[in-house]
Chains A and B, each alone.
Chain A
Amino acid sequence: MSSVILRNVNKSYGNLPIVKNLNLEVKDGEFVVLVGPSGCGKSTTLRMVAGLEDITQGDIQIGQRAINDLPPHKRNIAMVFQNYALYPHMSVRENIVFGLKKSGADAETIKQKLADVSEMLKLDDYLDRKPADLSGGQRQRVAMGRALARDADVYLFDEPLSNLDAKLRHHMRSEIARIQHQYNMTAIYVTHDQIEAMTLGDRVVVMRDGIVEQVGTPMDIYLQPTNTFVATFIGSPAMNLFEATIDGDDLVFDQYRIPASKIANVDLHDLGSHDTVLVGIRPDFFEDSALSSPSDNLFEFNDIQVDLVENLGFDKEIMFKLGGEDAKARLDLRSHVKRQEHISLSVDLNRVLLFDTSPQGMLINAGEV
C-alpha cells in the first residue's frame, strides 16, 4: 500500500478546463471518495491517477514515486471499471488471475490469492464460466476480484456499483467497506451517489466544475458543509435554505424571528456586515413539536401547513412552505401528521447553519459537530 499525492493537478481538453488546480493527499490505507454531479471532473481525476488520461499540469505521486510520465501498466494500480471491462474470452478464473500472473507472482501465490478472493466474493461456483454467462452482480464481483487479487499500491473504483439494482448495490457497498478495512487498502472511489460517499469514505472530496469544494470526514461534510452547494448536494432530502433578513439580533423570515445568539458559533459582530443570510436546516433536524421534549435551545415554527406526507416506513417526509420556499422535514413514525393539517415543527438551533448570500453561499457559523 502507498499514499497518493496530487499536487496542483490540472486537466483540460483544448481550452476547456476539466480539473482545476486540485490538491489532495490520500494517506496510506485511507479510503477517499470523490463525489459530485456529472461532469465535475471526479472520474477524470481518477483516470489521471490511473494513467488513462494525461495530466495537463501538476504532479501525481504514488508513495515516493512520481508517476506523471509512467504509463498505466507501470504504475502498479488496480481498478474496478463502471462497466466491469471483463475479458470476454477468459473464464472468471483467468480474469481474476490475469493481472496477478503478469506481475510475476509464483504459482503458489496465484492459487492462494484466487482461493481467497473467490471465497470472499462467493465466486467459487462460477470460476469456469465466461463473463457472458454471469449476471450483472456476478460480473461486478469478478471485476472486484480481479482488482483485489492484485497486490497493488492503490485501488481505484470508478462508479463500480452504478449498474446494480438497489438491493445488490447496498450489499456490495458493505462488502467493499469490509474488504477495504480487512486489507487496509489505499483506495480512491468515484461516485455520484452521496450515500456511497457518506458510508464508504474515511474522507469525502466533494467536487463541482473541476474544483474541490470540500474535503472532510463524512460527518464534517454533513454537519459543516463549507457552502450551499455542498450543503444541498450531501444529505437526502437536501438541506432547506431560507433567506432571512437581519433585524438586530434576530433573523427574520415569514412571521418567525430566530434569535441569532442561540445559533451555534455565531459571531453577532460578523453577522452585522450582512443584510440577509441563508438559514440552512436539514430535514432530519426538524421534529414534530408535539413529540419534542422542551429545551432551551429549541425554536418552534408554528402554524405550518402540511402539503404532502410521504410515508417511508420508519420515516416520513413531509412537504410544506417556509420562507416562500418548498421545504421538507423528516419525521419518525411516532408523528401522525396528515396532509392539510396545521402543525408545529421544532428545530435545535445548535443544528442550524447560516450561509452568506454571495453566489458561493459560504458558511458563516462553524456549526456544532
Chain B
Amino acid sequence: MSSILVKNEARLGLKLVAPAVGIIGLLVIYPILFNVYLSFFDVQLNGSKTFVGLDNYTDLLGNPRYYHSIGVSVIYLIGTVVGTTVLGLAASILMNQEFRFRNLARGLILLPYFAPVISVVFGWQFIFDPVNGIYNHVVVDVLHLTDTRENLIGNPDSALFVVILFDIWKHFPIAYLLFLAKLQSVPKDLYEAAAIDGQNAWGRFWHVTLPELRFVIATVVLLRIIWNLNRFEDVYLLAPNVETLPIFTYYQAFAGIVDQGGAAAISVIQLLVLVGLIWLYVRKVLKW
C-alpha cells in the first residue's frame, strides 16, 4: 500500500518538474553545449564554420589581454565581494539597533539596489566628470588636495576602482537585507549569556553575531562571486575600458575582429573555473 503511494508520488513529482527541466534544458543546457561545440570552430559571421581543434584555446592562452582581463576580474571580484559583505554587515548591525525613524532608514538603504542601472550609471559618470563633476570640484577646488583634475573613469586603472565602488554601492543592500533578516532572529538571551560570561560588545559580536551569521555570510559571498564573475552591464555601461572577463569576451565575440569561436573558448574556461570554485566552496565553506 504505502509503496504504491510512494511510487505514485514519485511519478507525480516527475511530471511536476518536467516542464521546468525542459525549459532549463532549452535555455541553459543547450546553449552551454552549443558553446562548447563552437569553441572548437572558427566561426564566420555568415555562419560558416571550420573545425580548428584546440586552436581557439591555444590562441587564447597565448593572448596577454586574456591574462590582463583575468587580473582585472580577480581585483574586481575581491574588491566587490569584500566591500559589499563588509558594508552590508555594518549597515545591518547599525539598522538592528533601536533608534527613531529606523524603519524609514531601513527602507532608504535599499534604494541603490532598486534604482535602474542605466540612470545611476549616468549619475556616477557625472560625479567623476573631469570638467563639471562634483568629485573634481571637491578634491581640487574645495579641499585643494591636488592641482590637476583627474579623469578617473577615462583612465582604465582608476576606472577599475570606480567600478568596484559603484558595484559596492549598488549591491550592498542585498547583503544588508539578508544579514538583517538573520540578525533579527538571533535570540537576545545569547547576547545576555555572553555578557554574563564576561564578553564586552566586541566579544559578543565575535562569539555570537558572527557565528550566527556564518551561513548567511557564506551564502552572500557565494552569490556575489557568481553574480560578479559574470557581471557585464554595470561595468560596460559605467566604464567600458575596464576589461573584466565578460567585457573581454564581449569584445572578442562582437567587436573589432569578430572571433566567436575564441569567445566561446573563454566562456568554456570561465564556466569550468566557476563550477570548480562553487563546488569547492559549497563543500568546504557551506558544508552542504
Contact = CB atoms under 8 A, between A and B. Distances in A.
Q: Do A and B bind each other?
A: yes
Given A51-B195, A79-B192, 8 more contacts: A50-B192, A52-B196, A72-B196, A79-B196, A83-B187, A88-B190, A98-B197, A98-B207
Q: Which of B192, B196, B212 has the most chain A CB atoms inside 10 A of its CB?
A: B196
A252 to B, nearest CB: 55
B202 to A, nearest CB: 11
Nearest to B208: A87
Contacts of A146: 193, 197
A83 B187 CA distance: 10
Contacts of A71: 195, 200
B203 interface: yes
B229 to A, nearest CB: 30
B19 to A, nearest CB: 38
Contacts of A73: 195-200, 203
Interface in A53-104: 71-74, 77-79, 81, 83, 85-89, 98-99, 102-103
Contacts, number: 60
A77 B200 CA distance: 14
B147 interface: no
A98 B192 CA distance: 14
B187 A99 contact: no
B207 A87 contact: yes
Contact of B195 (A72, A87, A88): A72
Nearest to B199: A73
Interface string A170-181: 000000000000
B53 interface: no
A62 B198 CA distance: 16
A74 B199 CA distance: 9
A85 B195 contact: no
Q: Report whether over half of chain B's contact residues are helix, strand or loop; otherwise say mixed.
A: helix
Those 5 A-B pairs whose CB atoms lie nearest each other, nearest first = A99-B197, A85-B189, A85-B193, A102-B198, A72-B195
Contacts of B189: 81, 83, 85
Interface size band for A: 20 to 34
Contacts of B200: 71, 73
Nearest to A86: B193
B187 A102 contact: no
Contacts of A98: 197, 207
With a 10 A CB-CB cut-off, give which of B195, B197, B211, B212 has the most chain A CB atoms. B197
B25 to A, nearest CB: 39
Contacts of A52: 192, 195-196
Nearest to A83: B189
Interface of B: 187, 189-190, 192-200, 203, 207-208, 211-212, 214
A99 B195 CA distance: 9
Nearest to B210: A89
Interface in A286-324: none
A60 to B, nearest CB: 15
Contact of A89 (B187, B194, B199, B211): B211
A235 B77 CA distance: 69
A51 B195 CA distance: 9
Nearest to A74: B198
Contact of A102 (B190, B199, B208, B211): B199
Contacts of A51: 195
B274 to A, nearest CB: 29
B196 A78 contact: yes
Contacts of B207: 87, 98
A78 B200 CA distance: 15
Contacts of B192: 50, 52, 72, 79, 81, 85
B193 to A, nearest CB: 4
Contacts of B198: 73-74, 99, 102-103
A83 B211 CA distance: 19
A50 B195 CA distance: 9
A73 B207 CA distance: 14
Contact of A85 (B187, B211, B214): B187
A50 B196 contact: yes
Nearest to B189: A85
Contact of A81 (B193, B199, B208, B212): B193
A311 B261 CA distance: 90
A150 B196 CA distance: 10
A73 B192 CA distance: 9
A296 B211 CA distance: 72
A99 B196 CA distance: 8
A102 B193 contact: no
A35 to B, nearest CB: 21
A186 to B, nearest CB: 15
A55 to B, nearest CB: 16
B208 to A, nearest CB: 7
Contacts of A72: 192, 195-196
Nearest to A102: B198
B190 A85 contact: yes
A317 to B, nearest CB: 38
Contacts of B194: 87
Contacts of B214: 89
B192 to A, nearest CB: 5
A43 B100 CA distance: 28
Given A85-B187, A85-B189, A89-B214, A102 B203 contact: yes
